[in-house]
Structure 1
Amino acid sequence: KCDIVENNFRPGVMEEWNIGYRQIREINPRIIFLSKNGYGQWGQYARENRPSNDGASQALSGYSWMSRFPGQTPLKMRAYIGDNYGALSAEIAVLAALHYRDRTGKGQFIEFSQNENIFRIMSWIWPYIQLSGESPRPTGNRDACICPADTFRCIDDTFVALAAPAPDEFRGLCQAMGRPELAEDPRFKDHAARLQEENAVAILKIIADWVRTKRADEIERLAEEYGFAATHLYTAKDLVENEHFNARDLRPEINDPLLGKYRNYDFPVKMSGTPPQTKWSVRPVGWDNEYILKTLLGKTDAEIRRLYECGALGKWKDVQGRRPPPDWDGKSGLNTTQG
């Protein structure tokens, strides 16, 4: 009855439990089987049976090494890009497999590495190495591919992100700074010249000195007037209170039967015919065991109890984030998956 099986175990675990792709395919040839973990199902790290998590993936992929200012400690992004972006990419693969199955009737095995997925978002780095023979160095907030593009400190110690790489954008920036002659300076006249290290440092210093005399909102108004990109750096509090995003209903109220009412950022895609809707939050581990086993698989209470007793089935441990809230009454929300 199953369409898709997903797991994030290390290589060989599902096979040891006799529920690997080959075993399940014998029962259901149409199955789509996704195995996603840190390093994939084969190769040196898979043979070493290495465990992984988001931080390890950011480190091994080189992402942390690049995400820093020169001479400073490598920086792990606080957002879980390996987990979140990895989940998104893997589910795109699942959708593609479903489409293929609709056309051919055939299922397939999908192998996914969290590390390799991060490689993909470091897009310009790999051709840079091949063409230059050098490893790109960390540059902080400065963009190594376009110039000028960096984050600058304002007069009130807030920050603004500014970019003006195109000819009209750079000319507009020079006019906004009151330095129109810079647009004709041989060091800055074209983009290739501005990307040269000595010239890039020079123009970024000129911009930094100018921004330091103004507030972020002044820079934003000038950017709108003269046609270059600039925005002040938002805090999480700024975003929650932002009129633009609130008007777009990016933080709808979710009435979760288990957690109650709260606001959270919704799936950021607007669809006219089938708009996304969040009915409940992430469930504790094993939350839907009884519903799945009884409703879909026809198991009795006695059969389910034996599965728990032999260790084939389990539920959440007493770990924050995996268990229900401490004040859960043992009943609320249990029937939501049937709606």
Structure 2
Amino acid sequence: MSKHNPPRANAQHDTHTTDELVTSQVPADSIGIRPLDGLKVLELGQLIAGPFASKILAEFGADVIKVEPPEGDPLRKWRYIHEDTSVWWAAHARNKRSITIDLRQPEGQNLVRMLAKQADILIENFRPGAMEKWGLGFKELHAVNPKLIMLRVSGYGQTGPYKDRPGFGVIGEAMGGLRYISGEPGRPPVRVGVSIGDTLSGLHGVIGILMALRHREVQNGLGQEIDVALYESVFNMMESLIPEYSKFGVIRQPSGGSMPGIAPTNAYPTLDGKYALIAGNGDSIFKRLMTLIERDDLANDAELGDNIGRAKNAQKLDDAISAWTSQHRLDIVLAKLTEAGVPNGRSYDAADISADPHYRDRNMILQTQLPDGSAIEVPGIVPKLSSTPGQVDRLAPGLGEHTEEILIELGLDDDERKALKDKGIV
């Protein structure tokens, strides 16, 4: 890691010294201790899936070197732009170091081999075959560094008849089954409003990396290849989709705000035109809910004593609950449900999240800064570890900000570094 002390993200609203910024994020007795300290990660991925995986590793101590093409990761230009860079970048690339390398050139490919020789983990999310075309496939890099763990994220995986097809997260969401069941009955499928296929793949990639690290540690000291497909990461979340089809021939359909086969759980209208989310599907919770809405007849109905009976009468229960919620404002409904011990909530938008004291108390909204020094809030870190928590100790890098630093770490002298720059390799 760099020896300088870069600005740290702060969990508070006001301005703090560097020491205060550290203690505002993590317990005082755990500062400087993170579970992945000492690991070096080489990130060749772009946009979301691969970089999301390395972001998590970086938050827990890994030194992530992000290799960008000379024009930069395309995500730098996605959605809302401030000072020529997406504000998304501030969260997506934090804790990383950036080096620009033209992978199309042999000299650039050789630089990656040099970096991979020093790395513990390499993450890439190019179309299958791209790394091999550059002479950077797993077999080639494993020969250079037998301990290297290589995470490969792609649309359809490294094998199979679809492996050469281009695939983005939304395609994985569709093939994985998520898109079909999302939306209101009788209407076209809708997408989840975020890149969930990519981030699920990043999470599966992190799981694979941690398991490969454990295997390397306790078995033979060797790395391995991790093959993560976008559609499989989504499909892994599809719960009973295939078992129900296999056994009963049932094709799960869009269900709006309800969950077919589990009742009562839905979004219910309130007097002020809003919706309360209520999950009354536990046996004892259901009775408390029915008592609250003054429907003792339903609370004491033997057929409704378990989920099987309630699922058969889901519409009847939704009607009863809606009749009660529609008589009260949302805040009253939620307060009464909470008092009765019934799980409840409302749909949060960005403003709701930013203002919520629970988010603030758990450091899930961090204040950091953009390159021009202006303040910005970004999501906090999960999961929460009691002894070795993650933290933000480096702002998202400028394009190629650490190129010189990393080349020096590779042992390249002044002339070698100048030659690479003159040729446009870095």
Rate the CA distance shift 1:187–1:232 in 2: closer, same or farther, 3 A: same
Instruction: Specify the code of the residue in structure 1 equivalent to 2:344.
Output: A
Change in CA separation of 1:36 and 1:310 when aligned onto 2, cut-off 3 Å:
farther
1:240 aligns with one of 340, 347, 354: 354
The answer to whether residue 216 in structure 2 is matched with residue 130 in structure 1 is no
Deviation at 1:181, TM superposition (A): 0.8
Query: How far does the alpha carbon of each residue in 1:286-315 deviate from its partner, in whole angstroms, 9 at most, with x for none?
Result: 4433322222x112354345446667x45x
Q: Read off the aligned partner of 1:172 and give its amino acid letter.
A: R
- The share of aligned pairs that are identical, in percent, is 29
Residues 80-119 of structure 1 aligned to structure 2 (within 5 Å) = 80-103=195-218, 104-119=220-235
In structure 2, the partner of 1:164 is: 280
Unpaired runs of 5+ in structure 1?
315-339
Corresponding residue for 1:141? 257
Superposition map of 1:133-282 within 5 A: 133-185=249-301, 187-196=303-312, 199-255=313-369, 260-282=374-396
After TM superposition, the structure 1 = structure 2 runs for residues 299-314 of structure 1, keeping only pairs within 5 Å, are 299-307=412-420, 313=425
Task: Report the CA distance shift for 1:57/1:288 in structure 2 as closer, same or farther (over 3 A).
Answer: farther
Q: CA deviation at 1:105?
A: 1.0
- Measure, in 2, the Cα distance between the counterparts of 1:274 and 1:123: 32
Q: 1:40 is matched with which residue? A: 157
From 177, 196, 200, the counterpart of 1:62: 177
Deviation of the 1:187 alpha carbon: 5.0
Distance across 1 between alignment mates of 2:237 and 2:123: 23
Task: Tell me the alpha carbon deviations over residues 60-118 of structure 1, each in whole angstroms, 9 at most, x when there is no partner.
Answer: 21211111110111111111111222212202211221121122211111111111001
SS at match of 2:365: coil
C-alpha distance in structure 1 between counterparts of 2:390 and 2:138, whole Å: 31
> Aligned AA for 1:122?
M
User: How far, CA to CA, are the matches of 1:285 and 1:58 in structure 2?
Assistant: 31
Distance 1:140 1:228 in 2: 21
CA contact (8 A) 1:166 1:191 kept: yes
With the length of structure 2 as denominator, give the TM-score of the two structures. Answer: 0.68
Amino acid at match of 1:102: E
SS in 1 for 2:122: strand
Partners of 1:63 and 1:268 in 2: CA distance: 24
How far apart are the structure 1 equivalents of 2:399 and 2:202? Answer: 17
TM-score (normalised: structure 1): 0.84
Residue 52 of structure 1 pairs with residue 164 of structure 2 = no
In structure 2, runs of 5+ residues without a counterpart are 1-117
Change in Cα spacing, 1:17 to 1:7, as seen in structure 2 (3 Å) is same
Aligned to 2:109: none
Q: CA deviation at 1:35?
A: 1.1
Higher relative contact order (CA 8 A, sep 6+): 2
Pairwise CA RMSD: 2.1
Distance in 2, matches of 1:42 and 1:232, equals 43
**What's the CA shift for 1:276?**
1.6
